[in-house]
Structure 1
């Protein structure tokens, strides 16, 4: 299965210079935040695949104008074919605007999901805006990751933990990926195409 993941940067090959050949056979799209609702609506319509998203700390516009035809999965566990996918929006609290969370607030969000994850025997993919703490994050207040993501990874061992928020450019796809126990943590800033075997 081919999965397109996006966040933070508008990529011309996905917008004004849309390249259908590059994105053929994409079955589902996952957005990790800080992208305009118009961009997400465009991608979903041109690729003709379901798009699931979490909001980033700059996605305040979504409150009044959510992306057309796209599904917010913050604090939810959904199924796409055989995949179980969960999402958590937002960044660390740094100036009091919406879609920011303290460490304790994020921990509460995760703990509310814990029974659902346990009942469904875990999760295959977690999408977030912020990364786990110390896994490719930064030290300024806005870009620190969440420590509370680590117990989620430790307990449920998702195959993939996909985030945005940390702006970086990568020379090759492997530079985006960090291994944490049995989980591949992927920074999807811009876009990334993930190919996985269906169980």
Structure 2
């Protein structure tokens, strides 16, 4: 399974071109800049049209209008809004946590954890501040997924393997909100 990971596009998704082929595309939040319904609808229309068999996304701190949403009406069956819930695709178990929600919801047996926030002290630094979540790190270390995908800390785009878990921060924008990076492709 090929997984394409991206995060923190902040409304600049139309500037992303020549995306590689994948089976699943995952966006880890901050799809919008100001959290308006118009911005989110623009992103959703773009995302739905992408030629991927499965599309997953979670909310970020900028996606205000979606923070308390339990679902989004009329999404195609292959678009999964993982707001504190999971989906299984071809035997791989994905679980997404909404921004500022409880990491305790992540079930044991999850293969890929999807959050906006990074775990504390792992690819979590931006403008000299560690933005990571300590309880999230503790839960991920307990669950032991194969991958933990996130964004949020623009400066710490990268990938680290620790305790058998691949941690990936795919924030595409730099700290000046310029689109400077490419989405990351994983092969499971």
Which structure would you say has the larger Rg?
1
Structure 1 pair 49–126 and aligned structure 2 pair: CA distance change class (3 A): same
TM-score, length-scaled by structure 2? 0.73
Question: Which residue matches 2:24?
Answer: 28
Counterpart check, 1:18 vs 2:17: yes
Counterpart check, 1:110 vs 2:103: yes
TM-score, length-scaled by structure 1? 0.70
Deviation track 1:13-71 (CA, whole Å, cap 9, x = no partner) reads x635632xx423x1111110001332343133132432111100110133699595432
Structure 1 pair 23–145 and aligned structure 2 pair: CA distance change class (3 A): same
Please give the alpha-carbon distance, in whole angstroms, between the structure 2 residues aligned to 1:87 and 1:29. Answer: 13
Describe how 1:1-199 pairs up with structure 2 within 5 A: 1-9=1-9, 15-16=14-15, 18-19=17-18, 22-24=19-21, 26-36=22-32, 37=40, 38-62=42-66, 68-69=75-76, 70-90=79-99, 101=100, 106=101, 109-111=102-104, 113=105, 117-118=107-108, 122-138=109-125, 144-168=131-155, 176-190=158-172, 191-197=182-188
Structure 1 pair 161–131 and aligned structure 2 pair: CA distance change class (3 A): same
Question: Which residue matches 1:173?
Answer: none
Gaps of 5+ in 2: 33-39, 173-181
Gaps of 5+ in 1: 91-100, 171-175
